[in-house]
Amino acid sequence: MKRVLTALVLAPIIIYAIFWGPPIVFVGVTTLIACFCFYEFAGIAGAHGVRVFTPIGLVAGALVVTLPQVDLALLAVPALATLALALRGAQLAAVLPQAGALTLGLLYSVVPWRCAVALRGISPHWLMFALAINWIGDAAAFYAGSRWGKHKLAPRVSPGKSWEGALASVIGSAAFGVAYAHWFAPDRGWLELILLSVAANVAGQVGDLCESALKRGGGLKDSGTLLPGHGGWLDRVDSSLFSLPVVYIWLSRQIIL
């Protein structure tokens, strides 16, 4: 029930922000999600024994998402600030892991949301495409894996996932992606839509496994408790963190087949 209620509250907010919300509302919601993701990443890093200077990461993350023009060289600033602060600690061996964890946290949990802002600028439908491709894929993987799953996909990282479920996820996402994108972008060719849908889905599945590996390495079941019934934000958007950049890079480089 908690899971359903949380989804019923969040879904209208996300859909409104994507399609009808003024830019300030959309960017505000996206920034909050990015900061929640970074906060949870910092917690996972802490479970690995690596301290992350969370305030620096949150400020840098908010700037990455909200500034009109962003040069990703900006990420060097929080990394260097972390190095400087870490030098004051008693354990010099912790300097490199702390700076590295903060930089990875920004790249992993924040930069994809900058891609989300850019995708909405191209078309809200492309942003929904990049997000929904994983929702459809996850549903297909769950039902197919529950019924036919016999061959483990990554038993050390996520024992419940199967190759059968992964294949169903690709097929379901491709079917949805082609149908949806052909509706709002009929100028795009069928081959391109198939390849883009598959690429976004595969990236999302890799993202899911990566987040599971991070949690398992730190001995955690969930990334957080901010979403009742779901765990944390990273548990819900781990796939999107990988699919958003894939779709954005594809479109921004004008790959047309």
Q: Which pLDDT tens digit goes with each residue over 185-197?
A: 999 999 999 999 9
Does residue 78 lie in a domain region? Answer: yes
9 pLDDT tier (thresholds 50, 70, 90): confident
DSSP H or E stretch at residue 17:
helix 2-19
Determine contact, residues 133/176, Cβ cutoff 8 Å: yes
Does residue 175 lie in a domain region? Answer: yes
> 43: domain range?
2-252
Does residue 63 lie in a domain region? Answer: yes
Residues paired with 227 in a beta bridge: 231
Does residue 257 lie in a domain region? Answer: no
Angle of helix 54-66 versus helix 23-47 axis, rounded to 10: 150
Nearest Cα to Cα of residue 88 among 51, 136, 124: 51
pLDDT of residue 222: 87
Does residue 168 lie in a domain region? Answer: yes
Tell me the C-alpha distance between 153 and 69, whole Å: 40
Does residue 89 lie in a domain region? Answer: yes
DSSP H or E stretch at residue 129:
helix 124-148
Mean pLDDT in residue range 155-170 = 92
Tell me the C-alpha distance between 175 and 30, whole Å: 27
- Say whether pLDDT at 14 is over 60: yes
89 pLDDT tier (thresholds 50, 70, 90): low
Q: What angle do CA 165, 109, 29 make, to 5 degrees?
A: 100
90 pLDDT tier (thresholds 50, 70, 90): low
Average pLDDT, the chain: 89
Dump pLDDT digits (tens) for 114-152: 999 999 999 999 999 999 999 999 889 988 988 898 889
74 pLDDT tier (thresholds 50, 70, 90): confident
Q: Which is more confidently placed, 46 or 77? A: 46
Report the number of distinct structural domains present in the chain.
1
